[in-house]
Structure 1
Amino acid sequence: MKKIQILIFIFSIIGSTANAQNWIPDLGNDTYKNPILYADYSDPDIIRVGEDFYMVASSFNAMPGIPILHSKDLVNWTIINHIYTSLPLQKYEKPAHGEGSWAPSIRYHNGVFYVYFCTPNDGLFMASTKNPATKWSLNLVEKVERWEDPCPLWDDDGTAYLIRGKVCANELYLHKMSPDGMKILDNGKLIYKDLLKQPIIEGPKFLKKDGFYYIFAPAGSVPEGWQTALRSKNIYGPYEDKIILHQGNTTVNGPHQGGLVELESGEWWFMHFQSKKPFGRIVHLQPVSWSKGWPIFGVDINNDGIGEPVSVYKKPNVGKNYPITIPQTSDEFNDTIIGKQWQWHANPKESWFSLSENKGSLRLFSEKNFTQNGNLWFVPNLFLQKISSPSFTAKTKLTFKGDLAGDRSGLVIMGAEWAYIALQKTTQGNKMVVYKGEKDKCEDLTQELESFSLNSDTCYLKVEFFDTNDFQFSYSLDDKQYVKISRKFKAQEGVWIGAKVGLFSLNPNIQKSNGYSDFDWFRME
Structure 2
Amino acid sequence: MFLRAITTLFLAHAPLVLSQTLTNPVVWQDHPDLDVFRIGRTFYYSSSTFAYSPGAPVLRSFDLANWEAVTHSVPYLNFSPANNYNLTSNSRAYVKGIWASTLRYRPSTDTFYWLGCIDGGKTHVWSSPGGNARANGGEVPTETWNWTPRPVIDKCYYDAGLFFDDDDSQVYVVYGNTQIRVAQLSVASNGDLREVRNQLVYTSSDMTLEGARMYKRNGEYWIWVTRPADAQFVLRANNPWGPYTRRVLVERIQGPLTSAGYAHQGGIVDTEDGRWFYAGFMDAYPGGRIPVVAPLTWGGDGWPSLVRDSANGWGKTYPIPVATTRKVNVLGPRVDEFRGSKLGPEWEWNHNPDNGKWNSGDGLVLRTATVTGDLFAARNTLTHRIVGPKSRGTFRIDVGAMRDGDRAGAVLFRDRAAYIGLHKTGNTASLVMVNNLNLVEGSWTTSSTGSVVATGPSVTGEIWLRIQADITPAFGTNTGRQAIFSYSTDGRTFTTLGPAFAMSNSWRYFTGYRFGVFNFATKALGGEIKVKSFAMELV
TM range (shorter): 0.7 to 0.9
2:200 is equivalent to residue 190 of structure 1: yes
Structure 1 residue runs of 5 or longer lacking an equivalent are 1-18
Determine the structure 1 residue equivalent to 2:64. Answer: 74
Matches within 5 A, 1:265-276: 265-276=273-284
Quick one: which of 95, 99, 103 aligns to 1:106? 103
Aligned mates of 2:516, 2:214 — CA distance in 1: 37
Q: Mark the CA change 1:146 to 1:248 in structure 2 (over 3 Å): closer, same or farther.
A: closer
2:215 is equivalent to residue 207 of structure 1: yes
Q: Mark the CA change 1:323 to 1:330 in structure 2 (over 3 Å): closer, same or farther.
A: same
Matches within 5 A, 1:502-513: 502-509=516-523, 512-513=524-525
Aligned mates of 1:230, 1:442 — CA distance in 2: 43
Determine the structure 2 residue equivalent to 1:120. Answer: 119
Contact 1:402 1:424 survives alignment (8 Å) = no
Identity over aligned pairs, percent: 25
2:26 is equivalent to residue 41 of structure 1: no
Aligned mates of 1:398, 1:249 — CA distance in 2: 43
User: C-alpha deviations, 1:138-194, integer Å up to 9, x for none?
Assistant: 2243133573324234365833222112xxx42211112114573343462221221
Quick one: which of 343, 346, 362 aligns to 2:348? 343
User: C-alpha deviations, 1:209-249, integer Å up to 9, x for none?
Assistant: 22321001111x23xx1111000113222211111123334
2:491 is equivalent to residue 479 of structure 1: yes
Number of corresponding residues: 484
What's the TM-score, normalizing by structure 1? 0.86
Contact 2:431 2:459 survives alignment (8 Å) = no
Matches within 5 A, 1:89-168: 89=79, 90=82, 91-94=84-87, 95-109=92-106, 110=108, 111-128=110-127, 129-131=129-131, 133=142, 134-145=145-156, 147-154=158-165, 158-165=169-176
Tell me the amino acid that sits aligned with residue 100 of structure 1: G
Tell me the amino acid that sits aligned with residue 349 of structure 1: D
Aligned mates of 1:157, 1:495 — CA distance in 2: 37
Contact 2:369 2:378 survives alignment (8 Å) = no
More deviation, 279-288/93-102: 93-102
Aligned mates of 2:187, 2:527 — CA distance in 1: 52
Q: Mark the CA change 1:157 to 1:185 in structure 2 (over 3 Å): closer, same or farther.
A: same
Structure 2 residue runs of 5 or longer lacking an equivalent are 1-9, 132-139, 473-480
User: C-alpha deviations, 1:282-308, integer Å up to 9, x for none?
Assistant: 1111101111111113327577xxxx4
Tell me the amino acid that sits aligned with residue 80 of structure 1: V
Q: In structure 1, the residue corresponding to 2:294 is in which secondary structure? A: strand
Contact 2:22 2:64 survives alignment (8 Å) = no
Q: Mark the CA change 1:155 to 1:76 in structure 2 (over 3 Å): closer, same or farther.
A: closer
Displacement of 1:470 in angstroms is 0.8
Q: Mark the CA change 1:61 to 1:452 in structure 2 (over 3 Å): closer, same or farther.
A: same
Aligned mates of 1:333, 1:456 — CA distance in 2: 22
Aligned mates of 1:467, 1:443 — CA distance in 2: 24
Aligned mates of 2:14, 2:204 — CA distance in 1: 39
Q: In structure 2, the residue corresponding to 1:244 is in which secondary structure? A: strand
Contact 1:25 1:35 survives alignment (8 Å) = no
User: C-alpha deviations, 1:99-149, integer Å up to 9, x for none?
Assistant: 111222222222322222221334112222232541122224313357332
Q: In structure 1, the residue corresponding to 2:487 is in which secondary structure? A: strand
Matches within 5 A, 1:422-437: 422-427=421-426, 429-436=428-435, 437=437
Q: In structure 2, the residue corresponding to 1:397 is in which secondary structure? A: strand
Determine the structure 1 residue equivalent to 2:244. Answer: 239
Aligned mates of 1:67, 1:401 — CA distance in 2: 34
Tell me the amino acid that sits aligned with residue 447 of structure 1: S
User: C-alpha deviations, 1:59-86, integer Å up to 9, x for none?
Assistant: 1111111111111111111111111211
Q: In structure 2, the residue corresponding to 1:103 is in which secondary structure? A: coil
Aligned mates of 1:410, 1:454 — CA distance in 2: 13
User: C-alpha deviations, 1:252-276, integer Å up to 9, x for none?
Assistant: 5321122211111221112211111
Q: In structure 1, the residue corresponding to 2:376 is in which secondary structure? A: helix
Displacement of 1:96 in angstroms is 0.7
More deviation, 274-283/328-337: 328-337
2:89 is equivalent to residue 85 of structure 1: no
What's the TM-score, normalizing by structure 2? 0.83
Determine the structure 1 residue equivalent to 2:511. Answer: 497
